[in-house]
Amino acid sequence: MPSSGLSLPERDHLFGWFALDGSAAVRPIAAFTSDTLAAVAERHGVLKRAAAHGLKWTSARYDGELEAQIRNARDARATRDDVLRALNAEGVVPTLLKGAALVPWVGRDPDARTMGDLDLLVDTKDIDASRRSLMTLDYTRPPGSLPDWHLRLWHFNTTYVPKDPERLPVEIHHGLHADALGVDLDPDAFRSRATVVDILGAKARLPHPIDRWIHLATHFTSHVGARCGSPETVRLLAESPHPPARLRWVGDLVDAWAAVRGAGIAETVVRIRACRADAACADALAMILPMLDPDGYAAAAAVVSAIGPPRFDAEAVERGGRTSHDVDTTLGIRPATLRLWLRWLSGSGRGLRPLPRVGHALSVLGRTATAALAFPFAYVLRSRKTDSPTAARDELERFEALARRRAFERREADARIDADGNIRAVEESAR
C-alpha cells in the first residue's frame, strides 16, 4: 500500500459518499476541495457520487472525467436496452447481475453508477441463443480468445466485445462464481426466485433482493481475495493505486441493503448459510455498518451475530487483490480452481462417499485431459491476427447508432418504475 495515506478530513469525506441519512458516517453536503480525493473518485468510477456529496477539485481534467463517467452510465443503460431486446427476440429472458440489476431499482442516482460491462445470467440451454443475439448487434469474442466450449468447461462466463464504441462489453454467465471461491450460489435457484420485469418494453429477470445482496458481497470478496470485515477496507482500497475492487461496489452494498431488510432477516440468514457465504457476507456487513441508517444497522448487526463475527487482514487484502483473479495463460485455467480440483482428487473433498468420489475424479480427469488436448487449437485461434472489433464505422452506421441512442433517451426520460418494479412510460404506468 502507498505510504502517503489520506488525511482524516479526506477519510471522513470519503465515507460520506456512501453513507445513508442518519448513519454514523454521514457528513453534511458542503464544499470540500481535494484533488487527492478526486483522483480516488476517478479511479473508482464514483466522481458523480462524490460531486453530489460536495467534493470539489482544482484540476480541469476531472471536469472532463466527470462527463465521461456520466456518459458511461448512460451508455450502460442504452446497452442494456439494446441487448435485452435482441435476447428477447431469441426467446431469452436473462437475469440482470450486479451493476445492471441496481440501476435504477436501487441506485439513488442512475448516472452515478459507472460500469465496465453488462453482466447477464442465462440458462445453460440459452447460451447459443444469447451468442446469436449478440452477433446481430455486431458483438464478437475478443481477438485471440480461447474457444467458447473451452470457456464453458472451465469458467462461469463468456465475454463479448462490441464493434460500436458506445456500447459496453457483455458477459454472458451460466454460473455465478468460479468454483475455487467455495460459494454454493445455485444459478438455477437464483433465476427461479427472480422477478420478471418490463424495462421499456424488454423483459428481464430482477434477482430477489437477498440473492442480489449475497451475490454482491461474494463478488466483492472474489476480487479482494481475503476476509476483510472492517471499515478500514474502504480506506485501503482508496489508497491502493491498483484496487482489486472498486469503491462503487461499496455503494452497491449500502444501497441494496434496505431491500434485504424488507425481505426478512431470518430468511437472509438461512440463505447465506445455505450457499456457504457466511464469511463474505459477515465481512461485507461489518465493512458497511457505519454507513447504514439506524434500522439498517440493527438488521445488519442481527445478521452478523447470527452468522459469526468477521476478521480483518490488511496484508491479505493487498495480496489477494493481486492473485485472486490470476488466470494461467497456457490453458486459461485459474490456478486456485486447479488446486481445488487436485485436492478433490487427493481425497480431501468434503463428505463424499467412495463411489461418488470416483465419479467426480473421473469427471475432473476428463475435463483436464480435454482442455490439454485442445490447447494447440486454442493457441492457433488465440495467435491469429484479427481486425479490431472497434474498427471505425461508416457514416450510415454512426447515424443509425445516434438515432438508436436518441430514441432510448426519449423512452427513458418518459418512464417511471411502477409498484411491480417495471420501467414503463408514465401514461402506461398510470393505467
Strand order of the β-sheet with 415-417 is 139-140, 157-162, 170-173, 118-121, 95-96, 202-206, 195-199, 423-425, 415-417
What was the pLDDT predicted at 271?
95
Neighbours of 52 (CB within 10 A): 15
Q: pLDDT per position in the chain (431 positions), as tens?
A: 334 589 999 998 999 999 998 998 887 777 899 999 999 999 999 999 999 999 999 999 999 999 999 999 999 999 999 999 999 999 999 999 988 878 888 777 889 999 989 999 999 999 999 999 999 999 998 876 666 766 776 778 889 999 888 899 999 999 998 776 778 899 999 999 999 999 989 999 999 999 999 999 999 888 876 667 788 889 888 988 878 788 999 999 999 998 998 889 999 999 999 998 998 899 899 999 999 999 999 999 999 999 987 777 767 666 655 555 566 555 666 666 666 666 655 665 555 566 766 776 777 677 667 767 766 776 666 555 555 444 444 666 666 777 777 787 788 887 888 877 888 876 554 55
Neighbours of 383 (CB within 10 A): 8
Q: What is the pTM of this model?
A: 0.83
What was the pLDDT predicted at 351?
53
Which residue, 239, 287, 393, 292, is CA-closest to 19?
292
What was the pLDDT predicted at 168?
93
- The DSSP result for 309-334, as a single string, is ---B-HHHHHHHHHHTT---TTT---
Given the C-alpha cell 466483492, which residue does it identify? 220
